[in-house]
């Protein structure tokens, strides 16, 4: 007979914290769950299925999504492996009686199809020349992250985002945690974005993620955006998550009302509109590391600006069909560019999610039924 799960959040939090590394190794080695283990919750603009998975019966609802931007492939791969891992767990596992997991591994199957040439199969680390030559990203105002409905009566937005939002509405209470897994093409290191109202309640999360980042040998990305697009620096490596109103203001100040008008709520704003006080997180893991950027967060950051100029030139060169790939790759390597292993990106994404779950368990009212 299985032992009854503990109902004290602090006990659950200690159980989860003590097994983080073991959990990741199991997740990383897991085969993804087949789509049949989930449910088709909607269709993309081009008619591809969007699949959602639910696992567990715990008191805390956790939402995880990835793929909002088509050129960010690591988050979807982690969530696919996580679905297979959770599917095969016994029902008395702490992850299943701690939380109810709502997972959409890829909300953007059309974008994934357009980027398949350089993303498939997922390598140990990505090739910078192939990535620059093949990456296709949605234009500002047309991405899925900022394509969610404004409220339950709003029939607009991207169909993919609407499908996820309508699925969330089937929950019979608020969510405690939501993470949207993103990536960056080039950065000094990982960057962790946090719900503004949770800054003071995520000190342990920040310490946990910062410590693991350094243990794996990485520096934290750092930039001072001064509130631009909703990015307010908290400390090195940590920032508030973006905001749709700030996004609109950014483009309005640049005399671009057409783009500004296309911004709708983000997934973070949309899930908070459903009630409660969920902790929302956005992970930003770089495919490629740019040493020295962020040592002076600026603005301006002269090292970052130099990297931007190099990358722009490399992107133009990579589009040349007569390109000598090996020569360009050697130039990138000599400049100090390094690929961040996919495994490390996944581990730090999982560390962020797990630390977030531990934080909401320490917060007595988060995710409780109203």
Q: In this predicted structure, what is the pLDDT of residue 195?
A: 98
Report the chain's C-alpha Rg in angstroms: 20
Confidence of residue 171 (pLDDT cuts 50, 70, 90): very high
Q: What tokens does 117 get?
A: 């040439």
Name the nearest CA neighbour of 173 among 100, 265, 248, 258.
100
pLDDT in tens, 24-39: 999 999 999 999 999 9
Cα–Cα distance for residue pair 332/346, rounded to 1 Å: 24
Mean pLDDT of 331-339: 97
Residue with tokens 């930039």: 223
pLDDT digits (tens, 9 = 90+) for 110-146: 999 999 999 999 999 999 999 999 999 988 778 899 9
Average pLDDT for 353-362 = 94
pLDDT at 6 over 60: no
pTM of the predicted structure, to 2 decimals: 0.93
Q: Are 60 and 174 in contact (CB under 8 A)?
A: no
The structural domains of the chain, ordered by start, are 9-362 (3.40.630)
Q: Are 64 and 101 in contact (CB under 8 A)?
A: yes
pLDDT, residue 2, reads 44
Distance CA(134)–CA(145), nearest Å, equals: 21
| Residue 118: count of CB within 10 angstroms of its CB | 18
Give the phi and the psi of residue 46 in degrees, each rounded to 5. -100, 10
Could you tell me which of 150, 142, 147, 177 has the C-alpha nearest to residue 161?
Answer: 147
Please give the DSSP secondary-structure letter assigned to residue 276. Answer: S
The yes-or-no verdict on residue 225 having pLDDT over 80 is: yes
Of 237, 252, 365, nearest to 297 by C-alpha is 237
* pLDDT for res 16: 59
pLDDT of residue 299: 78
Question: What phi-psi label fits residue 217: left (phi over 0), alpha (psi between -120 and 50 degrees) or beta?
Answer: left
Q: How many Cβ atoms sit within 10 Å of the Cβ of residue 9?
A: 19
Q: Give the residues across from 285 on adjacent strands.
A: 183
Cβ atoms within 10 Å, residue 86: 22
DSSP letter for each residue of 117-148: HHHSS--SS--HHHHHHH---PPTTSSSTT--
End-to-end CA distance of the chain: 33
**pLDDT at 21 > cutoff 70:** no
275: nearest Cα among 169, 363, 148, 159: 169
Q: For residue range 54-93, list pLDDT tens digits in order.
A: 999 999 999 999 999 999 999 999 999 999 999 999 999 9
Taking CA atoms, 28 is separated from 81, 331, 348, 359, in Å, by 6, 32, 12, 23
């Amino acid at each position: 007979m299985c032992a009854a799960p503990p109902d004290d959040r602090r006990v659950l939090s200690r159980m989860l914290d003590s097994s983080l590394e073991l959990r990741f190794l199991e997740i990383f080695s897991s085969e993804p769950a087949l789509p049949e283990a989930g449910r088709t919750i909607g269709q993309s603009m081009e008619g591809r299925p969007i699949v959602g998975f639910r696992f567990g019966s715990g008191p805390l609802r956790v939402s995880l999504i990835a793929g909002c931007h088509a050129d960010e492939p690591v988050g979807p791969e982690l969530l696919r492996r996580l679905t297979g891992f959770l599917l095969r767990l016994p029902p008395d596992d702490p992850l299943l009686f701690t939380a109810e997991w709502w997972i959409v591994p890829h909300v953007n199957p059309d974008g994934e199809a357009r980027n398949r040439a350089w993303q498939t199969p997922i390598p140990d680390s990505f090739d910078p020349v192939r990535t620059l030559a093949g990456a296709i990203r949605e234009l500002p105002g047309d991405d899925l992250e900022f394509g969610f409905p404004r409220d339950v009566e709003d029939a607009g937005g991207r169909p993919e985002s609407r499908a996820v939002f309508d699925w969330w509405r089937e929950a019979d209470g608020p969510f405690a945690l939501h993470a949207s897994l993103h990536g960056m093409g080039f950065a000094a290191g990982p960057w962790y974005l946090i719900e503004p109202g949770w800054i003071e309640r995520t000190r342990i999360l920040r310490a946990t993620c910062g410590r693991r980042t350094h243990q794996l040998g990485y520096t934290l990305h750092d930039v001072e955006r001064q509130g631009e697009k909703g990015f307010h620096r908290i400390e090195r490596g940590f920032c508030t998550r973006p905001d749709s109103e700030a996004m609109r203001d950014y483009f309005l100040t640049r005399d671009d009302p057409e783009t500004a008008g296309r911004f709708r709520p983000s997934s973070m704003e949309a899930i908070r509109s459903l009630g409660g006080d969920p902790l929302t997180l956005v992970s930003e893991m770089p495919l490629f590391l740019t040493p020295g950027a962020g040592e002076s967060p600026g603005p301006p950051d002269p090292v970052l600006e130099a990297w931007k100029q190099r990358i722009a030139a490399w992107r133009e060169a990579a589009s040349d069909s007569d390109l000598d790939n090996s020569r360009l790759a050697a130039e990138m390597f000599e400049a100090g560019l390094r690929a961040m292993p996919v495994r490390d990106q996944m581990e730090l994404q999982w560390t962020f999610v797990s630390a977030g779950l531990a934080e909401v368990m320490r917060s007595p009212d988060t995710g409780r039924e109203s």
